[in-house]
Amino acid sequence: MDNANGKASDQKRTGVCQDNGLTNGFHPTQTGNGSCSALCSNGTSTSGGFSSSSSSSSSSAAGGGGSGHNGIEHFHDLQFQEDVHNNGSPPKRCRLRRRMDSGKKSRPPFPWFGMDIGGTLVKLVYFEPKDFTAEEEEVESLKSIRHFLTSNVAYGNTGIRDVHLELKNLTMCGRKGNLHFIRFPTQDMLGFIQMGRDKNFSSLHTTLCATGGGAYKFEDDFRTIANLKLQKLDELDCLIQGLLYVDSVGFNGHPECYFFENPSDPESENCVKKTCCLDNPFPMLLVNIGSGVSMLAVYSKDNYKRVTGTSLGGGTFLGLCCLLTGCETFEEALEMAAKGDSSNVDKLVKDIYGGDYERFGLQGSTVASSFGHMMSKEKRDSISKEDLARATLVTITNNIGSIARMCAVNEGYFGAVGAFLELLKMTDDL
């Protein structure tokens, strides 16, 4: 998904999905062209953290961990199998509960992990059981891993646990626990693999489930350094399954997906953010923002096609911000963008017409030319780094929103645009 045209890898099948940071890259956006996007949801330093260096890779959604077989994958096959009494739509929560319990017999041993090794970030999901058995409590390496992951919010210089994304009190494969989401730059992948070796992870598991291009790129490193095999799952399959799963469990008692009603006038009180559920979302357009972007027309849980993509995604935003502002991290780029004013950088309709272009319904605040003011030396001398970061964000999100809108119209279901985005909350009002 992170190559020049945003394409994903061709290798296939399913897993658990949850993306933090750049892979499904930013929090949901309602762009100035009136398109409406729905979201699925995106401390202290310790030793043994995720800090080393390596090269980067690809991205999408995270798969569950297994040991020799993929118990978590089987669990999700149970979850999302077709139900003739439900018109082929994703099963209701009561059915999900029964299918979760039915996964007991095939569940793998702890710890349960899933990884999405992307082109910019690695996303890791960890299931922390709250009902440990006496036998499990006696396994020192298992306790060590659990303590290390759940007692910290930072790991080394670059690893971060997104506490605000934690899903609590879930039942998975008959076990109760919490889902934790951890991310770190792909360039630090070797540090993570070495940590797995140092914590003797291979004594608990022989196989990890992983998705994203990095599942292929780093496969040999996992085997030679940590004595671990990777069960590789297709990132777009994982994305769809994960979207439906997260919607089915909600976010700690609250719906995870939402849309904007009357989005064409974001400043109006009529533009209202409303929650929705995906009991029967098909067909839908799924916009997956990673380092690059893929747009999928989804007709059912296992029937979809990639409509198009763009190389201008989360990696573009971060890369340009690094060049233009000197920032070093994604968090720093977002912090700058939150403080900036893109109208100091972009040329707006009102800069050309003196106001609205009423004949075609273009408001004066609409961007006419991204970075259009930068041809003027006077303008260049007066802008801030924060303005440049904000303009970069607006340029990327507006482009993605415009392409998504055209795809939705062409596919015949404009108004049902489903986007699994995690860009950032500030783009809600762009």
Catalytic residues: 235
CA distances (Å), origin 183, targets 29, 249, 288, 419: 22, 22, 17, 21
> Residue 419 is which amino acid?
A
Which token pair is 347?
A: 């040329």
For residue 397, give the 3-state DSSP assignment: helix
Dihedrals phi, psi of 130, to nearest 5 degrees: -105, 0
Separation CA 217–CA 63 (nearest Å) = 17
Q: Let me know how many helices (H) and strands (E) the chain has, helices first.
A: 13, 16
Instruction: Output b/e per residue, 318-340; b: 16+ Cβ within 10 A.
Output: bebbeebbebeebebbbebbeeb
Neighbouring residues of 101: CB distance < 8 A, sequence distance ≥ 6: 171, 174
Dihedrals phi, psi of 315, to nearest 5 degrees: -65, -35
**Going along 262-381, which residue ranges are E strands?**
272-276, 284-289, 293-300, 303-310, 347-348, 367-369
What is the dihedral sign for C-alpha 164, 169, 172, 177? Answer: positive
* Angle (nearest 5°) at CA 62 between 244 and 334: 95
